[in-house]
């Protein structure tokens, strides 16, 4: 959590109290920190957690288990149960409590992808997924920044798009795990391709992307040098998914889809090799689309060893689901999901996690050492003067305006 120099009062040898003049803050460990949001209380580590959750567990700072916070935009609640079911499935698989984010003030967690999202101060435990089922996907799209996100212009047959908008970037083992994500669906188009059952499959699939599947793989080195729309072979490069692929009777490393174009290519398992598996780019109508140990293995590669429960996987094997599918005389109808995956790559979309439990904050460390720090007020004033001078000499940048970083 960033130190607030306007509010922080470091203790001297003989004085150990602090007063906050800002009514939006409260004293913790002799420092003024943002108050917890409604429904949250500060635990013994100083972290705001859901009231009654107890906090801690698994190296994180939240409820002791992985938690997905769903935020629906709009008044259409007809598909809420579908999203809740997908949330429950993924939460049953992920068993790690990653570091939370407390009072993410002034951060639009949707990164302007979803119009109508206005909650810019939210405690994140462990990921916020903002979703919107709409009748006309292209018309409802938010940010138009295709180049920045590696996302092509939406075509008329796109069923949905999803992906992270912010990642952890704290140098810990949880770096590159998503903090927030968005999901949007063309519900009319999806249900017309086979009804509600297919919509459930697509939601489960897209929530996988929101959690990092097919969207953070290149950041962590699990997919390398992949070119969508090419006929080149590409394989998963991380150990857990590959080990599970071998364990179900398959050979080599897990193959990545490349032949399909942008949106389907380089973000899914190979359709020709894994057939009906959930995270291939084609929805198979009228048959199960299993969430296999291979996909759960990929999640473990993203969230770290021991972070998943393989007992939650659906039955899937090379012999039963792949070889038999190829040999079948009647093939299920396949609908290319045609999703677009959001892959933020610029530094502004990384956020640094707060201090983890058991690690002293800077203010607490100073207090424990019993020293009085240097008065930084003069230094802060100099920085303000330099900042003002920078703007005075640059007619293209206004005070408070973000200067874009190169991608």
pLDDT tens for 253-274 read: 999 999 887 667 888 999 889 9
Report the percent of the chain where pLDDT is more than 70: 55
CA distances from 48 to 5, 60, 100, 179, 293 (A): 21, 12, 9, 16, 34
How many other CB atoms are there within 10 angstroms of residue 55's CB atom?
22
β-strand pairing of 127-134 with 48-50: unpaired
**CB 128, CB 101: distance < 8 Å:** no
How many other CB atoms are there within 10 angstroms of residue 300's CB atom?
26
Q: Read off the pLDDT of residues 123-142 as tens digits, 9 standing for 90 and up.
A: 788 998 988 876 655 443 44
On the 0-12 / 13-18 / 19+ scale of CB atoms within 10 A, 178 is buried
Question: What tokens does 268 get?
Answer: 């899914």
CA atoms within 13 A on the CB side of 360: 10
Looking at residue 348, its pLDDT comes to: 34
Q: Read off the pLDDT of residues 106-119 as tens digits, 9 standing for 90 and up.
A: 667 776 666 666 66
Looking at residue 342, its pLDDT comes to: 59
Looking at residue 72, its pLDDT comes to: 86
What is the length of the chain? 407
Q: For residues 219-252, b (16+ Cβ closer than 10 Å) or e, as one string?
A: beebbeebebeeeeebbbbbebbbbbbeebebee
**CB 129, CB 166: distance < 8 Å:** no
β-strand pairing of 339-341 with 160-168: parallel
On the 0-12 / 13-18 / 19+ scale of CB atoms within 10 A, 147 is exposed
Higher pLDDT residue, 85 or 379?
A: 85
Looking at residue 157, its pLDDT comes to: 62
Q: Read off the pLDDT of residues 316-360 as tens digits, 9 standing for 90 and up.
A: 998 877 765 555 545 555 555 556 565 554 333 344 433 333 333
- Nearest 5°: phi and psi at 191? -65, -25
242 confidence band (pLDDT: 50, 70, 90): very high
Alpha-carbon span 242 to 262, nearest angstrom: 24
**Helices (H), ranges, 158-218:** 187-192, 196-210
Looking at residue 148, its pLDDT comes to: 32
Report the percent of the chain where pLDDT is more than 90: 25
Looking at residue 268, its pLDDT comes to: 92
Alpha-carbon span 235 to 220, nearest angstrom: 14
Looking at residue 117, its pLDDT comes to: 63
On the 0-12 / 13-18 / 19+ scale of CB atoms within 10 A, 14 is exposed
Please tell me whether residue 154 adopts helix, strand or coil conformation. Answer: coil
Alpha-carbon span 2 to 362, nearest angstrom: 9
Looking at residue 30, its pLDDT comes to: 75
Looking at residue 186, its pLDDT comes to: 74
**CB 266, CB 223: distance < 8 Å:** yes
Q: Output the average pLDDT for the chain.
A: 70
Cα 379 to the center of its chain, rounded Å:
37
Q: Read off the pLDDT of residues 159-172 as tens digits, 9 standing for 90 and up.
A: 777 888 888 877 78
Q: Is the per-residue pLDDT at 39 higher than 90?
A: no
Q: Indicate the range of 235-244, 280-289, 304-313, 356-365 predicted with least confidence.
A: 356-365
Q: Read off the pLDDT of residues 170-206 as tens digits, 9 standing for 90 and up.
A: 778 888 899 888 888 777 776 676 678 888 988 999 9
Q: Is 176 left (phi over 0), alpha (psi -120 to 50) or beta?
A: left
Alpha-carbon span 200 to 123, nearest angstrom: 28
**CB 110, CB 142: distance < 8 Å:** yes
Q: Is the per-residue pLDDT at 231 higher than 70?
A: yes
Looking at residue 302, its pLDDT comes to: 97
Range among 3-12, 197-206, 288-297, 313-322 rated most confident: 288-297
Question: At 282, which helix (H) or strand (E)?
Answer: strand 282-284
Residue with token string 């199960």: 288
Mean pLDDT calculated for residue range 16-20:
55
């Amino acid at each position: 959590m960033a130190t607030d120099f306007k509010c922080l009062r470091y203790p001297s040898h003989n004085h150990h109290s602090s007063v906050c003049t800002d009514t939006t803050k409260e004293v913790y460990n002799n420092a003024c920190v943002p108050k917890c949001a409604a429904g949250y209380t500060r635990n013994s580590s100083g972290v705001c957690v859901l009231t009654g959750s107890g906090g801690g567990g698994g190296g994180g700072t939240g409820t002791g288990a992985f938690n997905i916070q769903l935020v629906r935009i709009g008044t259409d609640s007809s598909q809420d149960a579908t999203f809740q079911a997908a949330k429950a499935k993924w939460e049953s698989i992920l068993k790690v409590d990653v570091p939370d984010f407390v009072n993410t003030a002034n951060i639009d967690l949707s990164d302007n992808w979803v119009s109508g999202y206005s909650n810019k101060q939210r405690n994140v435990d462990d990921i916020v997924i903002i979703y919107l089922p709409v009748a006309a996907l292209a018309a409802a799209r938010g940010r138009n920044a295709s180049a920045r996100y590696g996302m092509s212009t939406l075509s008329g047959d796109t069923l949905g798009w999803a992906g992270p908008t912010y990642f952890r970037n704290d140098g810990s083992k949880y770096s590159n795990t998503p903090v927030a994500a968005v999901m949007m669906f063309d519900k009319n188009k999806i249900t017309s391709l086979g009804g509600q059952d297919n919509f459930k499959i697509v939601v489960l699939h897209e929530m996988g992307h929101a959690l990092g599947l097919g969207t953070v793989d290149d950041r962590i080195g699990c997919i390398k040098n992949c070119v969508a729309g090419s006929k080149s072979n590409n394989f998963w490069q991380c150990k857990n998914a590959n080990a599970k692929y071998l364990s179900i009777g398959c050979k080599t490393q897990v193959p990545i889809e490349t032949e399909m174009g942008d949106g389907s290519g380089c973000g899914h398992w190979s359709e020709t090799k894994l057939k009906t598996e959930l995270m291939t780019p084609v929805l198979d109508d009228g048959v199960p689309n299993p969430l296999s140990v291979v996909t759960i293995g990929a999640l473990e590669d993203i969230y770290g060893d021991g972070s998943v429960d393989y007992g939650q996987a659906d039955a899937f094997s090379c012999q039963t689901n792949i070889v038999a599918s190829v040999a079948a005389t009647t093939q299920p109808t396949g609908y290319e999901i045609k999703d677009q995956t959001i892959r933020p790559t610029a530094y502004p979309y990384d956020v640094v996690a707060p201090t983890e439990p058991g690690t002293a904050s800077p203010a607490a460390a100073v207090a424990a050492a019993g020293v009085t720090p240097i008065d930084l007020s003069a230094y802060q004033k100099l920085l303000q003067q330099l900042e003002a001078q920078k703007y005075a000499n640059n007619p293209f940048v206004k005070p408070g305006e973000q200067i874009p970083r190169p991608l």
